[in-house]
Amino acid sequence: MLPSAPPLAYRPGLNGIRAICVWLVILAHWVRPPFPIGEMGRIPFFVLSGYLISGIIWKKKVYPGAPGTWLQRLGTFYKRRMLRILPPYYMALALGALLPLATLREYPAWFLLPVSNMLFYRLHHWGEGVGHYWTMAVDEQFYLLWPLLLAVVGRRAGWLLVVAIASLVFRIVWTTWVTSDFVFVLLPSCLDMFALGALLSLIEHQPWVQQLARGRWVLMAWVGWSALWAALHLSGAHEAWLLVSTSAGSLASAFTLNWAIQQPAGTLTGSARLLLSPALQWVGVRSYGCYLYHLLLVVFYQRAVFRLFPGTETRQLWLSPWLTVLLLTPVLLVLAAASWHWLEAPLNRWKDRLAYS
Nearest Cα neighbor of 169 from 156, 182, 183, 157 is 183
**Res 109 pLDDT > 80:** yes
Higher pLDDT, 267 or 107: 107
Q: Cα separation of 294 and 281, whole Å?
A: 19
* Domain spans in the chain, listed from the N-terminal domain onward: 12-351
In which band, very low, low, confident or very high, does the pLDDT at 276 lie, cut at 50, 70 and 90? confident
In which band, very low, low, confident or very high, does the pLDDT at 267 lie, cut at 50, 70 and 90? low
Helices (H), 99-206: 102-106, 108-112, 116-123, 133-153, 157-177, 187-203
Those residues with Cβ within 8 angstroms of residue 341's Cβ, 6 or more apart along the chain or in another chain = none
Q: What φ, ψ does residue 100 adopt, rounded to 5°? A: -90, 160
User: Are 42 and 17 a contacting pair, CB within 8 Å?
Assistant: no
φ/ψ region of 143 (left if φ > 0, alpha if ψ in -120 to 50, else beta) reads alpha
3-state secondary structure 263-280: CCCCCCCHHHHHHHCHHH
Average pLDDT value for the chain: 93
How do the residues of the chain divide into helix, strand and coil, expressed in percent and rounded to 5? 80, 0, 20
Please compute the mean of the pLDDT values over residues 258-263 and round it to a whole number: 88
The CA-atom distances, in angstroms, between 305 and each of 116, 127, 311 are 28, 20, 10
Work out the angle at residue 135's Cα, subtended by the Cα atoms of residues 134 and 137, and round it to the nearest 5 degrees.
65
pLDDT of residue 10: 67
Residue type, 76: T
Work out the angle at residue 109's Cα, subtended by the Cα atoms of residues 108 and 110, and round it to the nearest 5 degrees.
90
The neighbour count for residue 93, using CB atoms within 10 Å, is 22
Q: Cα separation of 352 and 357, whole Å?
A: 13
Q: How many helices (DSSP H) and strands (DSSP E) are in the chain?
A: 17, 0
**Res 88 pLDDT > 80:** yes
**Res 41 pLDDT > 80:** yes
**Res 266 pLDDT > 90:** no
Report the largest interatomic distance among the alpha carbons of the chain, rounded to a whole angstrom: 68
